[in-house]
Amino acid sequence: MNGVHDMGGMENLGAVAPEPEAPVFHHAWESRVHALSVASPTRNNIDAGRHQREKIPGPEYLAMTYYEKWFRGLTELLVARGHATWAEIVRGYAEPGFAKTTPLFSAAEVTPRFMRRGSFARDGAAPAFTAGDTVRARNLNPPGHTRLPRYVRGREGVIVARHGAHVFPDSHAHGKGEDPQPLYTVRFAARELWGPTANPRDSVCLDLWEPYLEPA
């Protein structure tokens, strides 16, 4: 979907202010939101979580901090999936008689699970492109989730690497399975993206799934 979250190439959104010495969480409640998201029944679909945050109305999205977006998306997804009601979330406890469920994992399991490296690589179809191929990012404007930035749609680039097949977010976010698709790194010249005033030595590299691409 085309939302305010897709900020690539946009101007006048304020300066980037790096915080090299900043703590992981600025406030205690942020760590709790992170933990809630990890322990949520929705945690196994990161793409659905991203899409839920993308649906936050633009003015509200821009006014929120990072973990406020996480909390908003999490609560809306829990209600949409039938895991809780808004009344339960506001009160902080379940309705009387609500069926108890088994936690995804115990406190003792948290650290071992986080120490294991995950991967979205899967077996999938043979790739249609190879390194050195010139491709064009399709001009897609899907109503659902996509990881294809607006600023590269319709632009030509060159395949610089292949990464096998990976879970395809556009399908996974909407309950259509993992739908593994070939994944590539594509280099776009800055002048192809921004026009003749861009530095001719600059370029942008993006990891893009095969359904986003077509031969140029």
Could you tell me the pLDDT band of residue 206, with boundaries at 50, 70 and 90? very high
Query: pLDDT value at position 117?
Result: 83
pLDDT digits (tens, 9 = 90+) for 30-85: 999 998 888 888 777 999 999 999 999 999 999 999 999 999 999 999 999 988 99
| Amino acid symbol at 126 | A
Alpha helices in 134-186 (DSSP H): 169-172
The model's pTM is 0.91
Given this structure, which CATH class describes domain 121-215? mainly beta
* Domains of the chain, residue spans: 28-115, 121-215
Helices and strands counted in the chain (H then E):
8, 6
CATH number of 28-115: 1.10.472
Report CA-CA distances (Å) from 136 to 18, 107, 183, 215: 33, 47, 14, 6
Could you tell me the pLDDT band of residue 97, with boundaries at 50, 70 and 90? confident
To 5 degrees, how large is the angle CA 147–CA 149–CA 150?
Answer: 135
Q: 117 is written with which tokens?
A: 């490296």
pLDDT of 181 higher than 80: yes
Q: Are 61 and 44 in contact (CB under 8 A)?
A: no
**Rounded distance, CA 126 to CA 130, Å?**
11
Q: Are 205 and 187 in contact (CB under 8 A)?
A: yes
Q: Look at 38-47, 156-165, 204-213 and tell me which has the smallest mean pLDDT.
A: 38-47
pLDDT digits (tens, 9 = 90+) for 164-178: 999 999 999 999 999
